[in-house]
Amino acid sequence: MKEKNSGTWLEGKLKRLSMLEPYTFPELWNAKIEHSEPLIKLDANENYFIPKELISKILREVASEVDLRLYPVAEYKQLTEVLAKKLKVPPESIVMGSGSSQLIDAIIYSFAKPRDKVVSLKPSFSLYRMRSKVHGVKFVEVPLNDDLSMDSESVLKAAGKSGVIFICSPNNPTGNQFPQESVLSIVESFPGLVVLDEAYVDFADFSLITKIIEYQNLVVLRSFSKTYGIAGGRLGYLVANTELAELLRSRVLRPYSVSSVTLRVALKLLENHDTLMPYIEGLKEERKVLQRALNGLSGIEVFDSKTNFILVNVLTDDGSLGDKLASRRIYIRKIGKIFTKGYAYRITVGLPEMNSRLVEELKALI
Q: What binding mask, one character per residue, do residues 112-141 give for ligand PLP by CB under 6 A, x or -?
A: -------------x----------------
Closest CB 125 distance from ligand PLP, rounded Å? 4
Closest CB 237 distance from ligand PLP, rounded Å? 9
Burial of 86 (0-12, 13-18, 19+ CB in 10 A): exposed
- Candidate residues 80, 101, 174, 257; the one interacting with ligand PLP per rule CB under 6 A: 101
* Alpha helices per DSSP H over 230-314: 242-247, 260-271, 273-295
What SS3 class is residue 272? coil
Nearer to ligand PLP, 199 or 325 (CB): 199
Give the C-alpha separation, 206 to 317, whole Å.
Answer: 35
Cα-Cα-Cα-Cα dihedral sign, residues 124, 126, 127, 133: positive
Tell me the site size for ligand PLP, rule CB under 6 A.
13
Kindly identify the residues of this chain, within the stretch 177-206, that bind ligand PLP according to CB under 6 A.
197, 199
Give the C-alpha separation, 348 to 231, whole Å.
Answer: 14
Closest CB 45 distance from ligand PLP, rounded Å? 5
Burial of 90 (0-12, 13-18, 19+ CB in 10 A): middle
- Candidate residues 231, 247, 297, 338; the one interacting with ligand PLP per rule CB under 6 A: 231
- How many CB atoms neighbour CB 321 within 10 A? 21
Name residue 219's beta-bridge partners.
Answer: 195
Binding flag, residue 223, ligand PLP (CB under 6 A): yes
Kindly identify the residues of this chain, within the stretch 157-176, that bind ligand PLP according to CB under 6 A.
168, 172
Nearer to ligand PLP, 47 or 93 (CB): 47
Q: What are the φ and ψ backbone dihedral angles of 16, each rounded to 5 degrees?
A: -60, -45
Binding flag, residue 308, ligand PLP (CB under 6 A): no
Closest CB 101 distance from ligand PLP, rounded Å? 3
Binding flag, residue 225, ligand PLP (CB under 6 A): yes
Give the C-alpha separation, 283 to 288, whole Å.
Answer: 9
Kindly identify the residues of this chain, within the stretch 264-303, that bind ligand PLP according to CB under 6 A.
none
In this chain, which stretch among 63-71, 93-101, 109-117, 315-323 interacts with ligand PLP, using CB under 6 A?
Answer: 93-101
* Alpha helices per DSSP H over 144-237: 152-159, 180-189
Whether the Cβ atoms of residue 237 and residue 244 lie closer than 8 Å to each other: no
Nearer to ligand PLP, 177 or 225 (CB): 225
* Binding site residues, ligand PLP, CB under 6 A: 45, 99-101, 125, 168, 172, 197, 199, 223, 225, 231, 236
